[in-house]
Amino acid sequence: MAKKDVTDVALKGKVVLVRADFNVPMKDGEITNDNRIVQALPTLQYILEQGGKVVVFSHLGKVKEESDKAKLSLAPVAKRLSEKLDKEVTFIPETRGEKLESAIQALNEGEILMFENTRFEDVDGKKESKNDPELGKYWASLGDVFVNDAFGTAHREHASNVGISTHLETVAGFLMEKEIKFIGGVVENPDKPVVAILGGAKVSDKIGVIENLLNIADKVLIGGGMAYTFLKAQGKEIGLSLLEADRIEFAKDLLERAGDQIVLPVDGKVAKEFSNDAEITEVSVDEIPEDQESLDIGPKTVELFKQQLEGAHTVVWNGPMGVFEFSNFAQGTIGVCEAIAELKDATTIIGGGDSAAAAMQLGFEDDFTHISTGGGASLEYLEGKELPGIKAIANK
């Protein structure tokens, strides 16, 4: 069902609460990747241009005790947001109270402030993470309209997304709208044929996704560490490659049910040690030495996956094909990236997490229709689950 978005409500003169996902990576107090801030800009700029008074907030990391607060303040995020907007962003280092309320009341049309990390409320009883009703009601009382643009937390029922929506009209921001359109579109009404590519380390992380995508996709291509549990289920010798022994029966059952709908690697790059400097041998998956592990798919698998992608109208990819952090074992992931990027008439979607990081790191950011900003949220959406943060947004 279509959801209301930020263009469906009057904003001029209104205090507009915006839940963004500014859970950015930090090192020594410095932001190391500001993609999530950049992705939030269209929504914030639109509200400001419409004459809204913006109050933006987010979580950052996990705040378990008082000592966590010093390194998890949103102050550096407010500074970076100010630079990106080319506009002053007033930062209020509080999550509630008179100082925050007064600052909001003093806002003029087209001005923006940010308040402190919503997870600071977790130090005393996990009020944010457990959707404390009093906290959600309080935050809702600070504004006139609520715009939820934080897809990364849509799978969580928190005070800052679901709690506020209980008391205020809630609409999607532009980023949330894109996620619903593309990730939700894969699940609900994809343009066929559909090819899904799944990688990453563990089968157990993707059980629900695999089973749901088998109902949607014409082909499911499996690479990464998780592929070796499937190869083991076929009776192959996988050496020291990643294996989830407790998932072999599941993999065997899935392969029997899916038949040629599931496509597995035919070769891999093996090494005796988990190191970028290890000596590499390319072998068939029928010839993996018992004292070596496969750390990437091989060139024949890349070609096989390219063939499977031909003619696809919708492609969704989640999870790298190997240990892409090591340059010598990134070729499989690069090859898949290139193969998807070359599809001119397909809707191509990366379902967040490591595959999104890989695509950006490898320079393919502009070659996909959509790169999701959600990791866990994307996976749960692809499983076909109803996400609390999306359910809470008003229907059109």
Residue spans of the domains in the chain: they are 6-177, 190-382
> In this predicted model, which residue has the larger pLDDT, 35 or 165?
165
Q: What per-residue confidence (pLDDT) applies to 376?
A: 86
Provide the annotated active-site residues: 36, 202, 353, 376
Tell whether 352 is in a known binding site. Answer: yes
Q: What per-residue confidence (pLDDT) applies to 214?
A: 94
Q: How far is the C-alpha of 203 from the C-alpha of 229, rounded, in Å?
A: 7
Q: Quick one: what percent of the chain has pLDDT higher than 90?
A: 84
pLDDT band at 360, cuts 50/70/90? confident
Per residue in 265-304, pLDDT tens? Answer: 999 999 999 999 999 999 999 999 999 999 999 999 999 9
Biggest distance spanned by C-alpha atoms of the chain: 70
Any idea what DSSP says for residue 107?
P
Region 351-362 average pLDDT: 81
Q: Which of 228, 227, 225, 233 is nearest to 250 (CA)?
A: 233
Tell whether 257 is in a known binding site. Answer: no
**CA 203, 204, 206, 211: dihedral to nearest 10 degrees?**
90
* Tokens 């502009």 sit on residue: 366
What is the number of residues in the chain?
396
Per residue in 57-71, pLDDT tens? Answer: 999 999 999 999 999
Q: Coil, strand, or helix at residue 295?
A: strand
Region 115-131 average pLDDT: 95
Tell whether 62 is in a known binding site. Answer: yes
Tell whether 19 is in a known binding site. Answer: no
Tell whether 80 is in a known binding site. Answer: no
Strands 219-222 and 194-198 come out as parallel
What's the predicted TM-score (pTM) here? 0.89
Q: What per-residue confidence (pLDDT) applies to 339?
A: 94
Q: Which of 4, 23, 95 is nearest to 377 (CA)?
A: 23
Q: What per-residue confidence (pLDDT) applies to 1?
A: 65
Region 368-390 average pLDDT: 91
Asked if the model's pLDDT at residue 32 lies above 70, the reply is yes
Q: Quick one: what percent of the chain has pLDDT higher than 70?
A: 100
Q: Residue 299: is the preceding peptide bond cis (ω within 30°)?
A: no
Q: What per-residue confidence (pLDDT) applies to 149?
A: 98
Tell whether 119 is in a known binding site. Answer: yes
Q: Which of 302, 247, 296 is nearest to 274 (CA)?
A: 296
pLDDT band at 29, cuts 50/70/90? confident
Please name the fold of domain 6-177.
Rossmann fold (3.40.50)
Any idea what DSSP says for residue 60?
-
Three state DSSP letters for 172-212: ECHHHHHHHHHHHHHHHCCCCCEEEEECCCCCCCCHHHHHH
Locate all alpha helices (DSSP H) within the chain, ordered by sequence.
35-49, 75-85, 98-105, 133-141, 164-165, 174-188, 207-214, 227-233, 248-258, 299-309, 331-341, 353-361, 376-382, 388-391
Write phi, then psi, for 165 (nearest 5 degrees): -65, -20
pLDDT band at 242, cuts 50/70/90? very high
Q: What per-residue confidence (pLDDT) applies to 375?
A: 82
Q: How far is the C-alpha of 195 from the C-alpha of 214, rounded, in Å?
A: 10
Asked if the model's pLDDT at residue 361 lies above 90, the reply is no
Asked if the model's pLDDT at residue 352 lies above 80, the reply is no
Q: For the residues of 317-359, what is the DSSP string, one character each? A: EES-SS-TTSGGG-HHHHHHHHHHHT-SSSEEEE-SHHHHHHH
Tell whether 115 is in a known binding site. Answer: no
Mean pLDDT for all residues in the chain: 94
Asked if the model's pLDDT at residue 95 lies above 80, the reply is yes
Architecture of 190-382 per CATH? 3-Layer(aba) Sandwich (3.40)
Per residue in 181-235, pLDDT tens? Answer: 999 999 888 999 999 999 998 888 888 899 999 999 999 999 999 999 999 999 9
